[in-house]
Chain A
């Protein structure tokens, strides 16, 4: 199975900060990568699919980039509602695999 490694595991940031989260695949996965946001006690929410396509209804401060093995999720200006855990998911092959998550906390 493809291993997905996110970094950092957690970060502290302030409202208005630019935040970047990285996801690295153990083998090349083209651009078959999605990003999800999860708040405590809630279901995950799709933010980005195909590495860089913004899901309908998601604010434009979220963006994704990368292909092959290295991917990034960027939040251009962190808002209070963005404090959550973020996961990457590869859908290049089966079994699909998630990263271990990055928790974004308030500084």
Chain B
């Protein structure tokens, strides 16, 4: 059974740092791109970042560039999100999600988020 379990959330002061982890089980992390998605209280979902299977490609939403860093340890079947210089607007539930592959009409790889963790809450407040 595929499972994703996030941890590391909590209360942090503005300008503080936090590292989120996502432990994967039931599948081999080496085969998949992985994403982080967040949701502020009462708000819509926001895609945050993703990382290629071997870590060689990473993409971020503009609002976190230079402050958040996604990484992975395939040997440990784990995904991470290191967050620096946290702001109030970073307060959210953070989900990790697996990206499964499908192919578009030209045969190019495309991805969809097929499994999600239960989320971990990050609260940025003094």
Contact = CB atoms under 8 A, between A and B. Distances in A.
Note whether A and B form a binding pair: yes
A31 interface: yes
B116 A45 contact: yes
A50 to B, nearest CB: 6
Interface in B84-103: 95, 102
A53 interface: yes
Interface residues of B, number: 23
A53 B44 contact: no
Secondary structure class of chain A's binding surface, majority of residues:
loop
A91 interface: yes
A96 interface: yes
Contact of A98 (B47, B60, B95, B117): B47
B70 to A, nearest CB: 13
Contacts of A43: 95, 116-119
Most A CB within 10 A of own CB, among B50, B62, B113, B114: B113
Interface in A21-73: 30-32, 34, 36, 38, 42-46, 49-50, 53, 55
A83 interface: no
A34 B44 contact: no
Contacts, number: 62
A38 B42 CA distance: 12
A11 B112 CA distance: 26
Interface residues of A, number: 27
B73 interface: no
B110 interface: yes
B114 A31 contact: no
B112 A100 contact: no
A101 B43 CA distance: 9
A80 interface: no
A1 B118 CA distance: 27
Contacts of B59: 94-95
B112 A44 contact: no
A74 to B, nearest CB: 19
Interface in A76-107: 87, 89, 91, 94-101
Contacts of B118: 42-43
